[in-house]
Amino acid sequence: MTSWTLGERFHQRYPHLSGVKALWETKWKVPCQLSVYPFHDGLFEDFEPIFQRLIQDNVNDGYSDTYTEYFLPTAEKLTDAALSAQASDRARAASLFKRAACVYRISRFSSIDAGTGLKRRVFELQKQVYLRGASLWDAPMQEVKIPHTAARGQDGNEVPLFVRLPIGSNSQNRCPMVLLITGLDGHRPDNTGRTDEFIARGWGCVIAEIPGTADCPSDRRDPESPDRLFTAVLDWVDKQPQFDMRKCIAWGLSAGGYYAIRLAHTHHARLAGSIGQGAGTHHFLSREWLEHVDDHEYPFVLSEAYVSKYGYKDWEELIRNAQKDYSLLDSGLLDGPCCRLLLVNGTWDGLMPIEDSILLFNHGGPKEGRFYEKMLHMGYPPANECIWPWMESLMATTA
């Protein structure tokens, strides 16, 4: 039995998992009031009545269509208000579109492939309202669909990306670039705060989703499909005259951290650096860890979303095979060359064990890391205090 840094918490079932009432009151209500990720300004007045109705009607399954349906009237009302404001008050319209997109986002938990297809339809609505609002920003966000030039086997032929550029960037004024790699349930429209920070620093960004989630075309059952995906993405970015590819950093979030670490090895010569935040590498797919992962800080049980993401027949097949199929340690990649790599997480992460970040220091070249004592998944709230300076330093010194 592994002696996890998580300690006795490894064997505990976290209080928010007892139902939607506990989820709202112990996990989401205060972040919503404080406008902390994944919420933002103005959302408490949207979510409080929704969750009170869910609590009253005892709706507890976040994977169900029923859960999703409770959010839709509010999202539609916000969208209508945004459309009405668009001609006279662009800033208000943009804010309302963003709120509508966030309501749609929380409604589609925990996997857009769950249920009868409603959650995937909601994801399409989320993208539509998000891009309507993003078109009103001074530095707009746009969707770009590029050919998957490295596709093979069951890969799709097109890679949808979100792209945002700082004002004035062009072939004569090229900008540094961040490749933002999304997670299990946070997809392309869920990163406004991060892209605002990029734009404020004069950096452009390209946002890509990971295999098995959202619109990613990669074969979810092929462990090498992400290598082909990022070859296609980086090849496309290389051809865009506004990006300074000498200053390209990848940043993988949560489940996306695994891909940022993989990318740091497979495409090390094409990156100035990479960040694996809240990342799994090996232990997170072990039977011992997976048998308890449904008890920790994910808002709902995690197993159903994992089965969908990795494409296994059921949970038992995943537990039996996932580490063998997807371990970065067992693949030998971690002993190969790597670009500069920053690892960030909380030591009490119950989704991706901190051991998965620590083990990288014993393989390949030197790594950099910042682990936040007794913080949960991703190391929030303080994690960004180390990420932004690290990125700024790398952008400033890379020639």
- Residues labelled as active-site residues: 254, 349, 377
Q: Are 314 and 340 in contact (CB under 8 A)?
A: no
Distance, CA of 111 to CA of 105 (rounded, Å): 10
Instruction: Kindly state which CATH superfamily the domain 139-399 is placed in.
Output: Alpha/Beta hydrolase fold, catalytic domain (3.40.50.1820)
pLDDT tens column, 139-157: 999 999 999 999 999 999 9
Q: Is the dihedral of CA 292, 103, 96, 82 positive or negative?
A: positive
295 has a pLDDT exceeding 70: yes
Distance, CA of 40 to CA of 44 (rounded, Å): 9
pLDDT tens column, 79-136: 999 999 999 999 999 999 999 999 999 999 889 999 999 999 999 999 999 999 999 9
**Where exactly does CATH 3.40.50.1820 map onto the chain?**
139-399
399 has a pLDDT exceeding 80: no
Instruction: Give the closest residue to 369 by CA, choosing from 361, 284, 181, 378.
Output: 361
| Positions of E strands within 43-174 | 141-147, 158-164
For residues 98, 103, 109, 112, the Cα torsion angle rounded to the nearest 10 degrees is: -60
Give backbone dihedrals phi and psi of 259, rounded to 5 degrees, phi first: -75, -30
User: Would you state the structure tokens that stand for residue 319, as one six-digit string?
Assistant: 């537990």
User: Would you state the structure tokens that stand for residue 107, as one six-digit string?
Assistant: 């409604």
Provide the pLDDT for residue 171: 87
pLDDT tens column, 352-375: 999 999 999 999 999 999 999 999
Pairing of strands 273-277, 243-253: parallel
Bond prior to 110 in cis (omega within 30° of 0): yes
Instruction: Give the closest residue to 132 by CA, choosing from 124, 141, 123.
Output: 141
pLDDT tens column, 228-258: 999 999 999 999 999 999 999 999 999 999 9
